[in-house]
Chains A and B, each alone.
Chain A
């Protein structure tokens, strides 16, 4: 698909509050699904100090966003094309300074990124866990906010806390929830409905359901083989769920 230079990409931020709920796996597979639909997709590893996107994809990267922030390297020069139309901007791992960017660095990073994202249809940001400055900054920069949560109470609390902060401090009102690791569709629906109720009762906001990802052994298998399950196991339940969610995102 040809992307005209004057249209803006859809910037989507993927967060969860809690770590280990499947943000990176979801981001990588969603990027793969969107690119397979002919979209030009940029996946930014927003976990700037403990990056994992390159690990999940099994790619070896020589350059990363640290060089953009510390040395002014053009992010276009560190882009990695993973598959046709699917690009990754990798970040660094084991660099505490990158996890705590200053205000000036955050502004510099997003301004620099804005200069190069015009060529993409979708920009996905896989953020770090927590509610640190960079997480909030990326969420505020994005147009669409996806919150990943699981049926685990700690995940629900952290996802709610993240949305509460984004709502009260950044006036964010639209959240798309993705319930991961649901044992059954009913369980996924219960988690979504309950979260929706609490958000309406306390924050007066109504989230939308992006989708429910069932527990699927192919997900763990794909992570171990460092391949997106959407590409490695296209017929798996998880891949079908990602496929539906990609269609929903495009339809938004």
Chain B
């Protein structure tokens, strides 16, 4: 897995990422400029093969040679962003992290409906992504935005922000949002299938441009039921009688 943090991030954020890296099955490489200023962290899944690491580092070096820094979105066209073939590996690592942290992970599948070049899309939406988000291209017009630690409500808000930013740049988008909690025990294929199904729903006649999975699922419904309430207060009634 590769993830590139942008040079504009604070030193605190890098320190935090480095700490996180120590807890997860990843190896981290600190990237510094010639003047020793911190450019970012390069994180690799611990089981990444040497050839993969080498290829990713080569791509990264290429992108850094052209610029002083790189951020997740704009790095796409410079070759620094993970490629489509890495999406499932990245998802696997993120879903492993869901099990460790017990925090949800959302994914937005974004499709540009007009012929916007990928570089223009990433440029338009990069400001909408958080430091920990990962943007992965699927093909020329489709991107997967992985949002660690993001629940459905926040993912929907993020999708709306992305859509507005894209629209401001003249790009029409449709998005499908998937969500995974630890108890779901999703595989990358499960999450992708869920997001693809939602994206497909946006293409139906009259559909909203952003579709998402239901927030209320049987296995995760936390709402206190009528039956639970009845038992909670049952003894109070008895005592009164």
Contact = CB atoms under 8 A, between A and B. Distances in A.
A202 B228 contact: yes
Interface string A59-85: 000000000000010000000000000
Given A140-B102, A161-B224, A170-B182, A102 B231 contact: no
B16 A104 contact: yes
A104 B231 contact: no
A177 to B, nearest CB: 13
B102 A194 contact: no
A157 B182 CA distance: 25
Interface stretch (B49-57, B61-69, B138-146, B232-240): B232-240
A111 B222 contact: no
B222 A165 contact: yes
Interface centre among A103, A137, A198 (most CB of B within 10 A): A103
Given A140-B102, A164-B224, A169-B183, A198 B20 contact: no
B80 interface: no
Interface in B208-241: 219-225, 227-229, 231-236, 239
A197 B231 contact: yes
By DSSP majority rule, is chain B's interface helix, strand, loop, or mixed? helix
B8 interface: no
B173 interface: no
Contacts of A107: 16, 20, 149
Contact of B232 (A108, A137, A157, A168): A157
B102 A111 contact: no
B157 interface: no
Contacts of A106: 149
Interface string B121-151: 0000000001110000000000000001110
Contact of A103 (B12, B150, B235): B150
A181 B236 CA distance: 16
Interface residues of A, number: 30
Interface string A190-205: 1001110110011000
A171 B182 contact: yes
Interface string A149-171: 00101001100110011001111
Interface residues of B, number: 36
B181 interface: yes
Interface string B31-68: 00000000000000000000000000000000000000
Interface in B63-109: 101-104
B114 interface: no
Contact of A104 (B104, B132, B225, B228): B132
B183 A190 contact: no
B102 A169 contact: yes
A179 to B, nearest CB: 13
B102 A156 contact: no
A156 B233 contact: yes
A218 B86 CA distance: 63
A201 B130 contact: no
B236 A153 contact: yes
Interface centre among A107, A171, A190, A193 (most CB of B within 10 A): A107
Contacts of A153: 232-233, 236
Nearest to A112: B16
Contacts of B224: 157, 160-161, 164
Interface of A: 72, 102-104, 106-108, 111, 137, 140, 151, 153, 156-157, 160-161, 164-165, 168-171, 190, 193-195, 197-198, 201-202
Closest 10 A/B residue pairs (Cβ) = A103-B149, A194-B235, A170-B102, A72-B12, A165-B222, A198-B231, A111-B19, A108-B16, A161-B224, A156-B232
28 contacts: A72-B10, A103-B132, A103-B150, A104-B16, A107-B20, A107-B149, A108-B12, A108-B16, A111-B20, A137-B103, A140-B101, A140-B103, A153-B232, A153-B233, A157-B224, A157-B229, A157-B232, A160-B224, A164-B222, A164-B224, A165-B222, A169-B181, A194-B231, A194-B232, A194-B234, A194-B235, A198-B231, A201-B231
Given A103-B132, A106-B149, 18 more contacts: A104-B132, A137-B103, A140-B103, A151-B236, A153-B236, A157-B224, A161-B224, A164-B222, A164-B224, A164-B228, A168-B219, A169-B102, A169-B104, A169-B181, A169-B222, A171-B182, A195-B232, A202-B228
